[in-house]
Amino acid sequence: MSLLEVSGLTAGYGIVQVLFGLDFTVDAGEAVVILGANGSGKTTTLRAVSGMIASSGDVVLDGQRVTNSRPDELLRRGVAHVPQGRGTIVDLTVEDNLRVGAYSRPAGDVDAEIARWYEVFPRLGERRSQAAGSMSGGEQQMLAIARAFMSRPRLVLLDEPSLGLAPLVTREVFDRVGELVRDTGTAVLLVEQNANLALAFASRAYVLEAGRIVNAGTAAQLQGDESIRKAYLGS
Amino acid sequence: MEEFISYLFIGLGNGAVYAMLGLGLVVIYRSTGLLNFAQGEMAMFATFIVWTLADSGLPLWLAMFGGMFGGFVIGVVVHQVVVRPVGDPHQKPLAVVIVTIGMFLGFNALAKLIWGADDKTLLNLFGRSGIDIFGTEVAWQKLGALAVLAIEAVIFWMLFQRTKIGLAMRAVASNPESSALCGIPVTRVLMFGWGLATAIGAVAGTFTAPITAVSSNLMQLTLIYAFAAITLGGFDSFVGAIVGGLLVGVLSDVLPRYVDFFEKMPLAPAFILILVVLLVRPEGIFGQRKVSRV
């Protein structure tokens, strides 16, 4: 049984339907990417899974149907969502952002865990009492990811971490998340349009076009796929 | 000089009450992102509960705590039944602000309906005596208001900076969507904010009532002063509400005694203050200018 099983997922905004029956799965500890161009429905997919927008179809977590559960309920079940544009709480300090990430957990060992994150991302430690909004995009992305992991999730939904970041910074973010996934055994469902980076990061991939999944396979298979090379890899 | 000290403490005591109502306005502004024009009327309603309890023989202090509890419930109900169904104030601020104006009229009418139009009296929480300060008699009631404000300030600081619910309130104020994604039950946090704001309104009302009388118009002037206070201090700043409240109180009670122009118009200093602050420093003395990189 997969950790996350999605079938027939449809969603949209008002009368505009964006997703037309998606099926995909994520296993425990696995990194999966949904590739897609701008406007293909990547962000909508994650928003529908985490209950930020209404959807129909089945979102099944650990065999339990959680379709349309509120985001805070899903978080308590182990699904953390790093939204598009990072979603750092800009008026709060870096440290308070991390504390917010641990909101669903008992207070006990939160301080120790925050200290650990400062070791993983020293920049966050240096800026712990600074407003999160004053940091650079890459630093805020690291903060958003660290904050998501503060809830000890089993699955992290990661929405286009490369957005608005310089290529070098993007690569570093992917490297760090890759390490985190390996070290903690947390599953990641990534949506991206940077196919090069995403296929190197994930083990399996789905390709989303205009709200439908048009291709799926292992990352290696898709890297070799002619249509993918044309559409995303530029050669 | 003695005269000045007397007016000064009257101003500080009244200012403390403006600050209390201002704190409630700031709580709502920071958590829900809107100016609640019904804040004063909700406080008035809670003060009627204080009066009802005191009238039935409860000591005034206990009656005030009862009114605070009643106010908390009123705040929660208003948020759930009236404010939330209208929609997200961040997306349609005008609709929600107009709803608060509607609540202003509604609470006013409802209070008249329940308690009648005749004035009721509420006694001073700190009695009628005073203490000699620099040769001037200063009423315990005014000093008491300052002391209660100080206690409220400490409780607020502890609540917002040292507790989990406080952290959640600050997070929701800044970014409700991300807060929800981090597992914060946003609606419950907002309910708590509205409850808290109305509960301290009961305290402000309990201090205002002995000066005038308990009536449906109890908090209308106080609300104008409280608006002046938070405009001066900054809509999003608790420190601003307190400093602003005290300053507005002192200005409004001292200026009319010495400046002929203000003698006939005791509200004028508050309005002029609002105007000048909005022109010179729109975010207020302690208000935050948003700093963020996208």
CB-closest option in B164, B183, B294 to A76: B183
CA–CA min distance B228, chain A (Å): 25
B291: confidence class by pLDDT, cuts 50, 70, 90: low
Flag if B175 and A76 touch (Cβ within 8 Å): no
Q: What is the pLDDT of residues A193-211, one digit of tens each?
A: 888 899 999 999 999 999 9
Flag if B170 and A137 touch (Cβ within 8 Å): no
For B138-170, b/e burial (b = at least 16 CB within 10 A) is bbbbbbbbbebbeebbeebeebbeeeeebbbbb
Q: What is the pLDDT of residues B169-216, one digit of tens each?
A: 999 988 888 999 999 999 999 999 999 999 999 999 999 999 989 999
Q: With contacts defined as CB-CB under 8 Å, which chain B residues touch A155?
A: none
* Cβ pair A187, A200 in contact under 8 A: no
Residue B224 lies in a domain: no
Nearest CA in chain A to B289: A91
Q: With contacts defined as CB-CB under 8 Å, which chain B residues touch A91?
A: 170, 173-175, 288, 290
Residue B139 lies in a domain: yes
Whether residue B265 is predicted with pLDDT greater than 50 in this model: the reply is yes
Q: With contacts defined as CB-CB under 8 Å, which chain A residues touch B292?
A: 90, 131, 133-134
Residue B12 lies in a domain: yes
**pLDDT number for residue B90:** 74
Q: Which of B50, B33, B57, B54 is nearest to B193 (CA)?
A: B33
Residue B39 lies in a domain: yes
Write down the domain spans for chain A. Answer: 4-88+153-233
Q: With contacts defined as CB-CB under 8 Å, which chain B residues touch A135?
A: 293
* Cβ pair A153, A78 in contact under 8 A: yes
Size (chain B), residues: 294
Flag if B184 and A76 touch (Cβ within 8 Å): no
| Average pLDDT value over all residues in chain B | 91
Residue B187 lies in a domain: yes
Best interface-test mutation with A: which of B163, B172, B181, B291 has the largest number of A CBs within 10 A? Answer: B181
Q: Stretch A15-38: mean pLDDT, rounded?
A: 94
Q: What is A4-88+153-233's CATH number, 3.30.365.10, 3.40.50.300, 3.10.290.10, 1.25.40.10?
A: 3.40.50.300
Nearest CA in chain A to B179: A100
- Our CA angle for B160, B162, B167, nearest 5°, is 50
CA–CA min distance B101, chain A (Å): 29
Best interface-test mutation with B: which of A91, A110, A139 has the largest number of B CBs within 10 A? Answer: A91
Residue B266 lies in a domain: no
**pLDDT number for residue B24:** 95
Give the torsion sign (CA, A54, A56, A61, A66). Answer: positive
With residues binned 3-state (H G I as helix, E B as strand, rest as coil), the percentages for chain A, rounded to 5, are: 40, 30, 30
Q: What are phi and psi of A39, to 5 degrees?
A: 80, 5
Best interface-test mutation with A: which of B91, B160, B178 has the largest number of A CBs within 10 A? Answer: B178
Whether residue A235 is predicted with pLDDT greater than 70 in this model: the reply is no
Burial of A62 (0-12, 13-18, 19+ CB in 10 A): middle
**Single-letter amino acid, residue B248:** V
Domain that holds residue B188: 2-217
Q: What is the pLDDT of residues A30-74, one digit of tens each?
A: 999 999 988 899 999 999 999 999 999 999 999 999 999 999 999
Q: Stretch A110-122: mean pLDDT, rounded?
A: 90
Q: Residue B202 corresponds to which tokens in the numbers above? A: 């009961």
ipTM: 0.88
CB-closest option in A104, A137, A140 to B183: A104
Q: CB neighbours of B265 closer than 8 A, spacing ≥ 6?
A: B256
Residue B223 lies in a domain: no
Flag if A71 and B181 touch (Cβ within 8 Å): yes
Q: With contacts defined as CB-CB under 8 Å, which chain B residues touch A88?
A: 175, 178
Q: What is the pLDDT of residues A219-229, one digit of tens each?
A: 989 888 877 77
CA–CA min distance B170, chain A (Å): 8
CB-closest option in B164, B170, B175 to A87: B175
Q: Stretch A113-119: mean pLDDT, rounded?
A: 91
Report the distance separating Cα A67 and Cα A74, nearest Å: 10
Percent of chain B with pLDDT over 70: 98
Q: With contacts defined as CB-CB under 8 Å, which chain B residues touch A85?
A: 294
Q: What is the pLDDT of residues A132-190, one digit of tens each?
A: 999 999 999 999 999 999 999 999 999 999 988 999 999 999 999 999 888 999 999 99
Number of domains comprising chain B:
1
Higher pLDDT, residue B259 or B19: B19
B96: confidence class by pLDDT, cuts 50, 70, 90: confident
Size (chain A), residues: 235
Q: Count A/B contacts: CB-CB distance under 8 Å.
A: 89
**pLDDT number for residue B294:** 43
Helix axes B39-55, B93-115, angle to 10 degrees: 20
Is B91 at the interface with chain A, CB within 8 A? no
Give the torsion sign (CA, A129, A130, A131, A135). Answer: negative
Flag if B180 and A71 touch (Cβ within 8 Å): yes
Residue B250 lies in a domain: no
A→B contacts (Cβ < 8 Å), by residue, are: 50, 52, 70-72, 75-76, 80-83, 85, 87-92, 96, 99-101, 103-104, 107, 131, 133-137, 140, 147, 151, 164
Q: What is the pLDDT of residues B246-260, one digit of tens each?
A: 999 999 999 888 888
